Amino acid sequence: MGHIKLTNVTKSFGAVDVLHDINLEIKDGEFIVFVGPSGCGKSTLLRMIAGLEKPTGGELAIDGKVVNTVPAADRGLAMVFQSYALYPHMSVRQNLAFGLENTKMPKAEIAERIAEAARMLEIEPYLDRRPGQLSGGQRQRVAIGRAIVRRPVAFLLDEPLSNLDAELRGSTRAELAALHARLSATMIYVTHDQVEAMTLADRIVVLRAGRIEQVGTPLELYNRPANRFVAGFIGSPHMNFLEGTVEAVPSQKAIATLAGGHRLELPVGADIETGSRVTLGVRPQHIALGAGDNSIRAKVRLVEALGSETVLHADVAGQKVLVVAPGQHDLLPGADIDLSLSAAPIHLFNERGLRLERAV
């Protein structure tokens, strides 16, 4: 069981408010990822769930029981730390056993659990080594193993892959996904790597400056970002933002003028007024090269040919636009080109940065 519920949770360190009014419900067995820029409070939120920090206000419940004052040890959770926090003076086996010994578990069962976890994580050959004698990847597995043997109701992982090199990170990510499928325990995972977030998460929680910006499945966030921040944060490279003004609102659409005079036709609902300022959001992958219905003229600034795709840095009347075009294109900086948005899902954000729901 690993049902976790946060109601109006706040946290301050002295006079500094780090988390504001967090409401979140995590279902049993769910893989939840917290993302957000550095310093937004991801770790603090996770540590609060763990019991390592006390909430300043609000209510935190695990499996329906309020645990605000329950110490970390008694919440039945396990945590994997960014630095792994393996006990340097104990062998891998002792590291795994330490938490179990503290629960007065019989020796035989401890041995059994360690053997099982070691098999699962393929760390059997290192059981009698010290953490200092292991590579980064091996240490990472031990850290996960230390959590697994505890059979916790939920796993808390704080950037567990950030100390690994790119290749290892990729493979470990896949293993983590497999592990979650196998254990089907609740996992709460903190990262600022959005690839990890997108690939691992059942649901993603986007945090900014101590507030939840949006909660949803990876594709929900990608397709229907609640606001400019989420739209810019999810997806790589970042979404292009173009400033414009609404000129007319015929039925089911809006005509917007961009700085530089381009007129674009946008499909939106009725709750938009003529003359209001809006921001258009278009993902770089959704812009096509060549003229079309909804097209804009741009000047190429830089061409990055990656082989399978070409990344164009272009300039539309002073606003930067990034285009990722599949295949190889023979373009030179300084060239004028047409970019077509006719097939692109265009997101519209109002002046407060909130996304205007598309009507269609």
Ligand X SMILES: Nc1ncnc2c1ncn2[C@@H]1O[C@H](COP(=O)(O)OP(=O)(O)OP(=O)(O)O)[C@@H](O)[C@H]1O
Cα–Cα distance between 234 and 220 in angstroms, integer? 10
Two tokens, residue 199 = 């690939």
- Interaction partner, residue 146 (ligand X, another protein, Mg ion, none; CB < 5-8 Å by kind): another protein
Q: Name the residue nearer to another protein (CB basis): 187 or 264.
A: 187
13 scored as a contact of ligand X (CB under 6 A): yes
Cα–Cα distance between 307 and 301 in angstroms, integer? 19
192 scored as a contact of ligand X (CB under 6 A): yes
326 scored as a contact of ligand X (CB under 6 A): no
The nearest distance, CB 222 to Mg ion, in angstroms, is 24
Strands (E), 186-251: 186-190, 203-208, 211-216, 240-248
Q: Which of residues 19-58 bind Mg ion (CB under 5 A)?
A: 43
Helices (H), the chain: 42-50, 92-101, 107-121, 136-148, 166-183, 194-200, 218-223, 228-233
47 scored as a contact of another protein (CB under 8 A): yes
40 scored as a contact of ligand X (CB under 6 A): yes
The nearest distance, CB 322 to another protein, in angstroms, is 38
32 scored as a contact of another protein (CB under 8 A): no
Cα–Cα distance between 99 and 80 in angstroms, integer? 13
The nearest distance, CB 242 to another protein, in angstroms, is 44
77 scored as a contact of another protein (CB under 8 A): yes
Give the residue from 41, 35, 29 showing the smallest Cα distance to 4. Answer: 29
Cα 53 from chain centroid (whole Å): 22
160 scored as a contact of ligand X (CB under 6 A): no
- Residues within the interface to Mg ion (CB under 5 A): 43
- Residues within the interface to another protein (CB under 8 A): 47, 50-52, 71-74, 77-79, 81-83, 85-89, 98-99, 102-103, 146, 150
